[in-house]
């Protein structure tokens, strides 16, 4: 591709100072632009064969299995905080960049050259499948997704057709390309949840309070469920395409669902979310469910059927675990989270004690813990802080076991 970076070779060995933890992870092989030198290794003589993603620390933690250290990855780790991301995307619109497999591969791999994270996350966007089925949606710089013709009536919903694999060949190609270079490290695929996608379609773009969305949900339940049903079908197909191509886990982003109350969630949203996770059960990949401002919904999020419930920064992990257990008959589920992304802008003296507290709380969970932020990496974040944080999570958690 004309806009692709020059190719190089990067072959790190993770046998360093935490052998018990790092030997549980595969060696990696990246054949893309080198923006950082390989991490130093104190065990240059050891060679490790790549292991299947199912044996990775990340996947095992998602399943609640014993792990030698707490795995870590960061939402939005691939993208806007990295200068190399801005270089390779210069002059390329966001949604166009999501349709270029070689560019997607490069951007997905970039953070793994900087951070010792335990999973890659596919570079894409939640509105990609909407664009693929004919919705006139674009991502405006500094604004976000903007829909030319917002949903107002049944005819608008009827235009939402099912997503077919042939609609997104670039997603399959990109996933296969990334997986081929990860050497066994897991790739996380993702999709937008029906409520969050519906909010963009109804509001016509980003919204603070999602007033039109909630008004339609309250006032026209028949139209609401018709819209949610179609978006659910699209989300299932989009996730299945990624799993079929080799994604080792999936995350459903319901970023804005925290604006609804528990009873409205149960009646208007939960059945559709549950259908997504149920449809992916046979794929046997970990399923993660994440939303922002969902402290009052955590029990219901647990009921929806995911293996892992994401937690934002507004509630301590141990309290979140109690709420999730209450929703699933006191069964334990793995949790993911939950450092405030804004803390990363305040410096290491703020980050370290907060991260240590989260690690300690996570190690007491009976269902397992995946360290992450409570939302995505902010654009102003220093990549060096993220690299240091990933190392801290591994070191502290391994030492405590």
Please give the positions annotated as active site. 76, 80, 89, 125, 200
What would you measure as the largest C-alpha separation in the chain, in angstroms? 67
C-alpha distances in Å from residue 64, one per residue of 164, 289, 358, 387: 33, 15, 17, 25
> Going by C-beta distance under 8 Å and a sequence separation of 6 or more, which residues neighbour residue 83?
none
What is d(CA 112, CA 85) in angstroms, rounded to the nearest whole number? 13
Tokens coding 154: 């049944």
What is the rounded radius of gyration, in angstroms, for the C-alpha atoms of the chain?
Answer: 20
Give the residue among 47, 64, 53, 66 at the shortest CA–CA distance from 25: 53
Give the residue among 123, 99, 93, 105 at the shortest CA–CA distance from 33: 105
Tell me the DSSP string of 42-56: S-TT-------GGGS
Tokens coding 72: 């870590």
* DSSP reduced 3-state for 78: coil
Rounded to the nearest angstrom, the gap between the alpha carbon of residue 292 and the centroid of all alpha carbons in its chain is: 13
Tokens coding 234: 């699209």
What is d(CA 59, CA 51) in angstroms, rounded to the nearest whole number? 12
What is d(CA 275, CA 365) in angstroms, rounded to the nearest whole number? 27
Tell me the DSSP string of 206-250: --SS-HHHHHHHHH-HHHHHHHHHHHHHHHHHHHHHHHHHT-SEE
Alpha carbon distance, N-terminus to C-terminus of the chain: 47
What is d(CA 98, CA 147) in angstroms, rounded to the nearest whole number? 18
What is d(CA 196, CA 210) in angstroms, rounded to the nearest whole number? 10
Give the residue among 183, 395, 199 at the shortest CA–CA distance from 292: 199
Write the DSSP symbol of residue 116.
Answer: -
């Amino acid at each position: 591709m004309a806009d692709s970076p020059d190719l190089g070779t990067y072959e790190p060995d993770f046998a360093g100072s935490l052998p018990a933890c790092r030997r549980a992870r595969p060696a990696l092989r990246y054949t893309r632009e080198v923006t950082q030198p390989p991490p130093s290794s104190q065990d240059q003589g050891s060679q490790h064969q790549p292991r299947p993603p199912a044996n990775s620390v990340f996947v095992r933690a998602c399943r609640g299995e014993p792990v030698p250290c707490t795995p870590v990855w960061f939402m939005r780790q691939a993208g806007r905080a990295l200068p190399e991301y801005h270089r390779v995307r210069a002059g390329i619109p966001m949604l166009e960049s999501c349709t270029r497999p070689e560019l997607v591969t490069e951007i997905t791999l970039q953070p793994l050259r900087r951070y010792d994270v335990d999973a890659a996350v596919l570079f894409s966007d939640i509105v990609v499948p909407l664009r693929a089925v004919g919705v006139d949606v674009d991502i405006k710089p500094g604004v976000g997704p903007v829909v030319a013709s917002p949903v107002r009536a049944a005819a608008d919903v009827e235009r939402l057709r099912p997503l077919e694999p042939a609609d997104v060949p670039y997603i399959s190609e990109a996933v296969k390309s990334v997986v081929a270079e990860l050497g066994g490290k897991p790739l996380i695929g993702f999709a937008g949840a029906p409520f969050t996608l519906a909010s963009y379609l109804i509001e016509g773009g980003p919204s603070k309070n999602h007033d039109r969305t909630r008004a339609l949900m309250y006032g026209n339940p028949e139209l609401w469920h018709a819209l949610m049903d179609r978006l659910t079908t699209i989300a299932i197909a989009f996730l299945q395409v990624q799993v079929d191509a080799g994604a080792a886990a999936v995350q459903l982003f319901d970023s804005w669902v925290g604006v609804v109350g528990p009873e409205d969630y149960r009646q208007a949203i939960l059945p559709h979310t549950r259908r997504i996770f149920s449809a992916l059960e046979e794929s046997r990949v970990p399923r993660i469910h994440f939303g922002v401002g969902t402290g009052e919904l955590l029990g219901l999020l647990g009921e929806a059927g995911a293996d892992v419930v994401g937690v934002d920064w507004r509630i301590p992990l141990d309290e979140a675990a109690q709420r999730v257990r209450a929703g699933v008959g006191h069964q334990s589920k793995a949790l993911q989270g939950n450092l405030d992304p804004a803390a990363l802008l305040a410096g290491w003296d703020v980050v370290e004690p907060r991260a240590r507290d989260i690690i300690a709380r996570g190690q007491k969970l009976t269902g397992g813990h995946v360290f992450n932020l409570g939302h995505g990496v902010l654009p102003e974040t220093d990549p060096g802080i993220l690299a240091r944080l990933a190392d801290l999570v591994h070191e502290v958690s391994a030492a405590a076991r």
